[in-house]
Structure 1
Amino acid sequence: MIPETNTISYSYPVPSVFIAGGAPRLLLAGYSETEKATGPAFFQGSLEQPYITARCLIALSNVVRSSFTLTPATAAMMKDPIVTTGAEKLRFEGFSQCAGVYARVDVLPGGHSGSFPASGTVNVDFNQPMINALHAVSRNDTLQLTVNAREISVQSQPTERITEKKVPLPVKWIKGLTTVQLFLAASEKVHTLNKVQLRQLFQGIPAGAVKTDYYLTVRGNRPAFSPVKAANAVCVGGIHRLRLLEPLLPLADELQVFVHPDMQSTTWQLYFGNVRFSLSLSREAWRGFSGEGAALDSLIADVPDRLISAMDKYGHVNQEFNATLLAVEEQAGFEEIDQLTTRLAAMGLLGFDLDDNVYFYRRLPFKLNRIMSLNPRMKDAEQLLAEDKVAIISRQQDKVEARVAGSGVTHTVMIDGDMARCTCTWFAKHQGERGPCKHILAVRKKIN
């Protein structure tokens, strides 16, 4: 059962360690709620761009510590990033306290020199002493990295030891991680900016917190932000959040901008050779990814346990999810595989790589049945069905009209293919921008 505080407490079996002197080593302690036993190391080796990677990890930590809607007291709570290893890549992920900013550091092949004895996903310890140690990494240093709790116990002769304490893991992180991947999968690249253009663009970010939308346009070779909407402009809400990228700008080779078709999110991806830093912003600063409801539609269709099990095994072995290959191997239809893909992303098993345009396998360190229970609108829809409050009035091909009994009022739901409308106040307020209401969900599930 999820605690009423909406946090999940966990502790690390051993402390994370940064060992200075000689060849510095960064040893990241991990905790998995689903895998209690210590397994083999996920990664052992060195980072080929230690200075760049250290700065990217510091920037990721800055995102995790930031908040654009919460009170200072709430925002002061420390949270730890998540690390995934597999397919010769290291991926560090984190959210801002308000869950409206998502960041990821990808160390790509060529950005490290080492081995991957096993693949997996763990929470890692990034407390203040660890951040201080990363700040101390210079351009001429080498940095050894070990990801896994067992390796920390082996490398326990501390020149400098950092002790981890119990920390809360917000439920909104779990929900945000499932939602942001669906947004990323739908996004398209719209701009690529070089070093000069990058400096020009960020000079135009206004000071202070910005409550109105700004728009990114490129005229000639010069990009610019403007409060005035223009044709083909990229809408950016809460533009002041982009300042989280400023410490990395002098080091970056280029910036690529990706946009969701409905502009519900934008992603800003910096490149540093074989290291990549991504920053995704929700449409508005006050609205986090955890409340978007983008995953709700993917939870309507029932997916056979056989396919979920097959994908779990396939993803664990391959670390990247190729829907076409899985469809052929399992003799399943592509529509069924598409439903499986979105459902697994909603469960947190899949992240999304914009450059490779593929999902990568990520087993979040949370119980999957808990993740599936984190959608109150879906639970309300199930209750409406259980209480027999959904009546189908007419159905002709893809067009459906239904009545859903509410508290003293009956709502009308109209569905025409992928379009749906409801007479409830939720739909009137959000117009589908934050996912379907419980009445639409209930009707879709009834006719599914």
Structure 2
Amino acid sequence: MTILTNATAAAAPAVADDQRLNRLLLRKLMPLLIVVYVMSFLDRTNIALAKASMGIDLGLSAAAYGLGAGLFFLTYALAEVPSNLIMHRVGARFWITRIMITWGLLSAGMAFVQGETSFYIMRLLLGVAEAGLFPGVMLYLTYWFDREQRARATGYFLLGVCLANILSGPLGGALLELDGLLGWHGWQWLFVIEGLPAVALAYVVWKKLPDGPASAPWLSAADARDIEQRLNAEKALAPQQSRLSQMFADKQIWLAIAVYFAHQITIYTVIFFLPGIIGTYAALTPLQIGLLTSVPWIAAAIGAATLPRLATSPGRCRTLLFFGLLTMAAGLLLASLSNSFIGLIGFSLTALMLFVVQSIIFVFPSSRLSGNALAAGLAFVTTCGLLGGFVGPSVMGLIEQTTGNTRNGLWLIAALLVLAALISTRLRQGQEP
């Protein structure tokens, strides 16, 4: 009993110190990363609010809009792996700064599209410019947090998506009402005013974001050493694959991709088509549509801020994934059956689990890879998953044009989510057989 008591007493300071370090890392790193992601999502998804007015002013059909929305993800996905490998070599601070400058300028440049062709080209270029941000941050978090804390940190990071979508509705609706000011359409003001701040924020990233614990001015040398020792000890307990050939041969990577693919189809279908679906509920102004569009993202923020912290073991990760995906499917089914504000409740139910699921998915591949394979693997999972960001809006646009009702496509996505839930039960982390 004395031995156990002494061991417990000796371990208590170490646990307290780990908790102190984790709180410090979350406080110092996450606010800036969250703001970066807010900007990112404002700039990649503001065409959802611009859809109706751009369609009238430029003559874009529903199918052309869906294709243009999806083309972003095609080039984004193709550039993910090389972008992450470059970041692994040159450092997060430089590469994320570069990403922000190029995407901010191109997003503002969307104000000058003239028709379908220029719309497609700008969306393709924007995808290349922003490629690597999300998998880059997923890689960056592995430099600071162990597996037990990584899902929580990822959940906080994904709050950026929630905040962006909460803000984008009212902000975008207000900017659209600038229509006619100085001879510009409202959607042109939307792109310029939401695009240029990303360039300014890039300067803050360059000044404030450390490449790793050793270069963080707010960490003592002892704290930086403790973080690196903790991460190295975790790697030693669960030997990881460092060669790209091993990554491609690991069936767990492909299972994670399958789940992420269904997830990405869902999230970008909701992002790009939610404003239009809400617009069918009643005679609403752009500002009213924007305000109602923010409701599901408030639910998403609640989920991202509270539930990922429960994913502290492989079993809990699988349980949260399984029930999270089923909850998302149930919400879409409810939304598809109701052409009223009850449908908004369904979308909110789906949104509640969107970033709970996403924050956990990446724990599985990151637990099985290291070195270049980790950088490439996280980007590869994102690449394949983001093809869902191309497929979802494109298919939904075709369904809307063919049937006259966007909600018909929600049944198909709900079925994919149920299949993904079943696949998630087979996922394993590095130390599991």
Structure with higher helix content: 2
Tell me if TM exceeds 0.5.
no
Higher relative contact order (CA 8 A, sep 6+): 2
Report the structure number with the largest CA radius of gyration.
Answer: 1
TM-score under structure 1 length normalisation = 0.23
Greater strand share, structure number: 1
